[in-house]
Amino acid sequence: MSKRTLGLVPAPGRPEKLVEKLIEILPEVLSRVVDDRISWEIECETNTLASSSEYINENIDRADDIRRKNNWDMVIAVTDLPSLSERKVVISEFNQEKGISIISLPALGCFKLKQKLQNLIIHHVEILYGSGSSEENGEVKSQFIDKITSVTPEEDNDSSKRYIIKSTVTGWSRLVVGMTYINEPWTVLTGFKTIVSLAFATGTYISIFSGAWELSLEYELWRFLLGMFIAVSGMTGWLIYAHRLWEKKSHNSQTLYRSLYNLTTLLTVTSVTLVNYAIVFVLLTISILLFVPPDLFGSWTPADPNTSWNDYFNLIWFASSLGILAGALGSTVEDEDKIRNVTYSYRQLYRHEQIEKEDETESYEESGESESKTQDESEEETEEYEGQKQAHRESEEAE
């Protein structure tokens, strides 16, 4: 029985965690689906591959270097970077001659992610092994609402193919949701203890005064909704500003990708804020029910003597909004690096610096020279790639 070695190269974070869950089951599945006469061995090496989405086409070359270094038969990389081709969302790119596939995890959305990734890896192994075709992708297409299609990149030769989602709306919706999920916003919830504590203390303090009780009874629904919107947007905006999470215009990024990063940052921080709002709401529910007796509530306010749960709900809602707004403006998260790490812009900046260091080290080892490039030369090199965009032409076989 002959042997084939499949190398998996996931990016750090969510891609690495998903790939680790698949390593043990893939050999058996590949034997059953692809070729049972082959002994499949799976090896894994975590690597960022590319520093930013604009240069994601460089992944093929970097993945090929990793494949040759490890003497793998084929390599499948799983990146957490978005990939766009003529504003269409790219799911994967593969080169059968080199035995390389690159999967963009955010394009798979956030539901049944493990199963989708497993099916996509198996499908690409079939293509790279030669037992399948890029047009025979029914199982892959079944994972998406709209069909995907195989196209040929304009910047490469015909040996490369690219899967894109045909529907722009569906593709972008899945991409944005997938990027927000890959940011793993739940990992920073523990870093908001100070904000939650201050918001809870503020809300509790407000709730012991009859003025807050009367306001909560007089407010109409739209005022409560407006207050909640101001509190959530205020906390979100403050966190983005205070921790410099908004990516500004630079020569290292395209406007389209920069807008995509900022949108996912906004959604990520907003989701964290909403969860913290819910936590404060629960805490204030306990506090107000303990410290605001129904009889006192009714006697100190123009409420009906038989105070209803709706009156308490309005008071808790009012206090939660004011508490969150005060907590956000009066404090910051404990671990700044932790919250910044859940945004694409910060992670890509870090990766860009790391890859530049690796390239400089490799260049030094090959040439034996210790002098690094000057800043002007580096800027000229960056400007040469500025605005680089992926494009494709429709394959004759594409559906």
CB contact at 8 A, 40 and 121: no
- Of 35 and 374, more confident: 35
Structure confidence by residue, pLDDT tens digits, 84-110: 888 899 999 898 888 999 999 999 988
Distance of alpha carbon 255 from alpha carbon 263, whole angstroms: 12
Distance of alpha carbon 185 from alpha carbon 187, whole angstroms: 5
398: Cβ contacts below 8 Å, ≥ 6 apart: 149, 150, 151
CB contact at 8 A, 124 and 76: yes
Angle at 93 between CA 135 and CA 20, to 5 degrees: 105
Q: Out of 49-58, 69-78, 155-164, 262-271, which region has the weakest mean confidence (pLDDT)?
A: 49-58
Structure confidence by residue, pLDDT tens digits, 165-201: 988 898 999 999 999 999 888 888 877 888 888 899 9
Q: pTM of the predicted model, to two decimals?
A: 0.80
CB contact at 8 A, 4 and 73: yes
CB contact at 8 A, 175 and 308: no
Distance of alpha carbon 387 from alpha carbon 378, whole angstroms: 16
CB contact at 8 A, 47 and 13: no
Angle at 186 between CA 102 and CA 276, to 5 degrees: 145
Ranges for all domains in the chain classified under CATH 3.40.390.10: 2-168
Which of 152, 203, 188, 146 is CA-nearest to residue 170?
Answer: 146
- HEC-encoded secondary structure of 69-138: HHCCCEEEEEECCCCEECCEEEEEEEECCCCEEEEEHHHHCCCCHHHHHHHHHHHHHHHHHCCCCCCCCH
Q: Which CATH architecture has domain 2-168?
A: 3-Layer(aba) Sandwich (3.40)
